[in-house]
Each structure stands twice: as C-alpha cells, then as structure tokens.
Amino acid sequence: MEIIHDKVNKEFVLPLVKGQKAKIRYTSDDASKMIRLVYSEVPEALRGQSIGKELVLKTFEKLTEEGYKATAVCPYIKHVVKKDPKWSTIINH
C-alpha cells in the first residue's frame, strides 16, 4: 500500500481494508520544510498487526522523498525512530 501525503489536512494516510485508514497528523510552518509529527492512529480493530510501524516507516520514506525534516512528538513515532537510527538524520526525537 502506498502512503498518501494529504497536505490540505496535514496528514500522512495509509489506506487499509474496507475503506479504513491509518494516519499520522502533523503541524508545520508552511514556509519551511520542517514538520512536527504529533499523532499516529491505527483503527482499533487492526492494531497489533504491525500496521502502525508500517505507517511510520512509509511516512519517513515519504518525508525523505519530499525533502522534509521532522520532529517526532508522538510517543509511538519516537519509539520507532529510537529502534532504527537510520532515520535520526531526518527525524528529531
């Protein structure tokens, strides 16, 4: 599944089964390429299936592709960054 960067709603969205979606919400200063990843959400019925980790990693990949740097505010996103130092160059935690 491909991650979608919804700039209007300031979300990274991962489409899932039956129209459901996992998402990361962020805040940003529209003039800069720095964003704050403030909230991640996976539908309750789909938790525990590594969808959250997939959502975060695909978001990091999209951030890299689009030239953004980010600060992780969400505790789960911070946890994923700490587990994989590869992302520490673009994600502050």
Count Cα neighbours of 15 within 13 Å in the Cβ-side half-sphere: 7
Mean pLDDT of 16-29: 93
Interacting residues of 75 by C-beta distance below 8 A, sequence separation 6+: none
Q: Is residue 45 over pLDDT 90?
A: no
Cβ-based burial of 60 (10 A; exposed 0-12, middle 13-18, buried ≥19): buried
Task: Look up the domain containing 46 and give its range.
Answer: 4-92
Both tokens assigned to 87: 């992302």
The enclosing domain of 9 has a CATH number of 3.40.630.30
Q: Is the Cβ–Cβ distance between 57 and 23 less than 8 Å?
A: no
- The number of distinct structural domains making up the chain is 1
Mean pLDDT of 12-24: 95
Q: Residues of the chain with pLDDT > 90: what percent? A: 66
Q: Is the Cβ–Cβ distance between 5 and 25 less than 8 Å?
A: no
- pLDDT, position 83: 87
- pLDDT, position 12: 98
